[in-house]
Each structure stands twice: as structure tokens, then as C-alpha cells.
């Protein structure tokens, strides 16, 4: 019932996961898509497919500027395919054009997490060029400072923490039920 109502009100809009590396955009996004019976897409995977290279290879061979350009173009294209759940890379929402495109075609969901949670998760893998430095924690702290005020523009903010992903999905679904960007005009006076 809830799911059908959320989907009806969303129409062609995408649910777009934003937030820092390690906040759970892909793992929560995939489960949210399954819950809502919608396709799930990961923008980083689509960038890799389009470039026929991994993200570390793109950074190494062409530099971050070129990666950001590809990221902006791929997300603009993917946003035409809603409804869907779309996980973006951590830097994508920082681009004003991408933010505007998301605002026009989607609902942005920020998974906010504290530094220790993020560090614990990202240190398990070795696939993030920005963190291949002597002090990845200092980089992450800098990114939090620079990005959190911008991520805060998202429609929904959910605390990502060490609980099962399904708990986070439950919270997002509950928020979607009552959020003004999802709620139809006919319901506005009633909630
Ligand atoms: C980046 C985050 C990565 C990936 C790239 C740059 C960033 O995605 O897009 O390494 O600038 O925060 P995840 O957030 O999915 O790790």
C-alpha cells in the first residue's frame, strides 16, 4: 500500500542517493530499489562502463577534471530514465549543474555519517583515488567540511550508522510517505 502510494506520487522522478564515500549510497540504494520494486543504477558503474576503465584508471590516465566532466554527463543522461534509485559518487552533488538536474528530475537523499563510521567502511577497500594518500582521515575530514553544507540541500537527510541496511531503508520509506516533494497536492492538507 505504502509502496504503491509512494511510487504513484513519485511519477518519473528518481530517488538519488548522495553523501560521502562509505556512507552506504550503493548498498542502501540497492535495497531501497528492491523495496520499491524499481531499477537500481550506480552512476560510478555507468561511468566505468562508458569509459571502459575503472575509476582509479580514469583518475590516473585523464585526471580528476575529466572524471568530473564524465560524471556530470552520465548523471544527466541517467536522470532521464526515472523512476529509479540512482546512487551517485560522493563528489557528484557538489557540481551545481548536477544538483540542478537532480532537483528537476529527482528527490535527493543524503546519507549523513560520522567520520569514524566512514573511515571504518572506506578502509576496507582500496578503490578510491582521493583516499590513496598518507592521511586519508585528514582528507575525509576536509571533504566533510567542504561538502556537508552542500549535501544539506538534499530533500531528505538520513543518519547512516552501523545498523542493518534495512533499518535505513525503513526510515527512508517512512520519510518518503510524508515528504512534501513526494506527497501529491491532494494529500497536502491531510498530513
Ligand atoms: C568520489 C567518490 C567515489 C568516486 C570517486 C570520487 C568523491 O564514489 O566517485 O572516487 O569525490 O567523493 P563513492 O562515493 O561511491 O565512493
Please report whether residue 183 resides in a domain: no
Cβ-contact 160, 19 below 8 angstroms:
yes
Q: Is residue 184 part of a domain?
A: no
Specify if 187 maps to a domain.
no
Is residue 104, in this structure, part of any structural domain at all? yes
Note whether residue 182 is domain-resident. Answer: no
Q: pLDDT at residue 154 above 70? A: yes
Q: What separation in Å is there between the alpha carbon of 36 and the centre of ligand 1?
A: 25
Ligand 1 contact, 136 CB (< 6 A): no
Render pLDDT for 31-64 as a digit per residue (tens, 0 to 9): 999 999 999 999 999 999 999 999 999 999 999 9
Q: Would you say residue 100 lies in a domain? A: yes
Count of helices and strands (H, E) across the chain? 9, 5
The closest of 187, 157, 184 to 10, measured between CA atoms, is 184
In a domain, 177, yes or no: no
Across the chain, mean pLDDT equals: 94
Q: Whose CA is nearest to atom 11 of ligand 1?
A: 91
pLDDT tens for each residue of 167-190: 999 999 999 998 877 766 555 555
The whole-number pLDDT of residue 182 equals 74
| Residue of 91, 93, 133 to mutate, ligand 1, most atoms within 8 A of C-beta | 91
**Distance in angstroms (rounded) separating the CA atoms of residues 117 and 120:** 5
Going by the DSSP 8-state scheme, the letter that residue 84 receives in this structure is: S
Q: What CATH number does residue 137 fall under?
A: 3.40.50.300
Cis geometry, peptide bond prior to residue 83 (ω within 30 degrees of 0): yes
* Probe target for ligand 1 pocket from 86, 122, 128, 151, with the most ligand atoms within 8 Å of CB: 128
Cα 90 to middle of ligand 1, angstroms: 4
What is the number of structural domains in the chain?
Answer: 1
The 3-class SS string of 119-178 reads: HHHHCCCCCCHHHCCCCHHHHHHHHHHHHHHHHCCCCEEEECCCCCHHHHHHHHHHHHHH
> Which residue range(s) make up the domain with 168?
3-172
Cα distances (Å, whole numbers) of residue 130 to 1, 5, 46, 84, 139: 43, 40, 19, 28, 8
Quick one: average pLDDT of 133-144? 98
- What is the pLDDT, as a whole number, of residue 181? 72
The C-alpha cell that represents 187 in the structure block: 494529500
- The pair phi, psi for residue 42, each rounded to 5°, is -115, 115
Percentage of the chain exceeding pLDDT 70: 95
- Is 178 within the bounds of a domain? no
Amino acid at each position: 500500500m505504502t509502496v504503491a502510494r509512494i511510487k504513484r506520487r513519485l511519477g518519473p522522478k528518481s530517488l538519488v542517493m548522495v553523501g560521502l564515500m562509505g556512507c552506504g549510497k550503493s548498498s542502501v540504494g540497492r535495497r531501497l530499489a528492491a523495496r520499491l520494486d524499481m531499477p537500481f543504477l550506480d552512476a560510478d558503474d555507468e561511468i566505468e562502463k562508458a569509459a571502459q576503465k575503472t575509476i582509479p584508471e580514469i583518475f590516473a590516465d585523464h585526471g580528476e577534471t575529466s572524471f568530473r566532466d564524465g560524471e556530470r554527463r552520465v548523471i544527466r543522461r541517467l536522470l532521464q530514465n526515472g523512476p529509479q534509485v540512482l546512487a551517485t559518487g560522493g563528489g557528484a552533488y557538489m557540481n551545481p549543474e548536477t544538483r540542478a538536474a537532480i532537483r528537476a528530475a529527482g528527490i535527493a537523499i543524503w546519507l549523513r555519517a560520522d567520520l569514524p563510521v566512514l573511515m571504518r567502511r572506506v578502509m576496507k577497500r582500496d578503490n578510491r583515488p582521493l583516499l590513496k594518500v598518507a592521511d586519508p582521515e585528514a582528507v575525509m575530514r576536509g571533504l566533510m567540511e567542504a561538502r556537508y553544507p552542500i549535501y544539506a540541500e538534499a530533500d531528505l537527510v538520513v543518519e547512516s550508522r552501523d545498523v542493518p541496511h534495512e533499518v535505513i531503508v525503513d526510515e527512508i520509506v517512512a520519510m518518503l510517505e510524508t515528504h512534501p516533494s513526494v506527497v501529491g497536492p491532494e494529500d497536502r492538507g491531510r498530513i
